Amino acid sequence: MPIAAFTPGGTSEGKTSTKNSSNINTARDATAGGSIADNTSFAIARKAGSKYHFFRGIFIFDFSTGGNVGVPNVIRNQKIRVFRADLLLSDTSVSAADSGGDKLVVSHIHDPNTFGTWHANDYSDARYSKHTSAQTIANGADDAVFRLDNRLLLREIENAINRRIKIHLATRNYLDSSGATPTGMNKIMFDDVDDDDPLIMKIYFKSYDASKFAGSRGGFSAGNIKTFSGGGFSEI
């Protein structure tokens, strides 16, 4: 099965929104967070003094363009079926005052406030679905594998790539997503797609020539399976 690892191009980037309150439910269940910020505090659940603080990552992956960004020209007439997808996280900064505070959860933002851009309203977990499992992230890691292990989420990624559109994803600390109560600092930070050791998406896939199957319900053709090289993708 071909494997491709790439840094999403175009307008791809992660940003954050945060909410704090002395009432944990007010902070966690808010319909909007604070103003969108350009930092890497992608998954924090913290208690400081009398207040609870939650930071959530709001990511856009842009597959809408060809060439050296989005998807390469070689698959403009191809469709792919994604069987597995990982995020490779580098320059991780992780600390956990509480059990589970070093675990990350990724979700699909199925109802972004404004498709294709970041918005404080996307802090609301009512907009999230298709969650991954909670997975432990090691401190100081490079290329730490985070598996996007929800099959419905894989279909959303596949759909975004095949339709050449953007996809919105959210990252949260497990203590946030699970409804637990933090007692101190629980943080997961890592490099964004535009940093010196960028976030990488790794997909395991099959591809086929869409034009050969237009109007049919045919399956994959082994003769058309390709790996990508250049144009934003690199062969593994």
- The values of phi and psi at residue 114, to 5°, are -140, 110
pLDDT at 2 over 80: no
**152: burial class by Cβ within 10 Å (0-12, 13-18, 19+)?**
exposed
pTM: 0.87
Tracing tokens 């995020």 back to the chain, one arrives at 87
Integer Cα distance of 7 and 155 in angstroms: 19
Ranges of each domain in the chain:
3-208
User: What pLDDT, on a 0 to 100 scale, did the predictor assign at position 225?
Assistant: 33
Task: Look at residues 30, 54, 52 and name the one whose alpha carbon lies nearest to residue 44.
Answer: 54
Q: Which amino acid is at 14?
A: G
Integer Cα distance of 156 and 57 in angstroms: 18
At 109-151, the pLDDT tens digits run 999 999 999 999 999 999 999 999 999 999 999 999 999 999 9
Check if the beta carbon of residue 92 is closer than 8 Å to that of residue 135: no
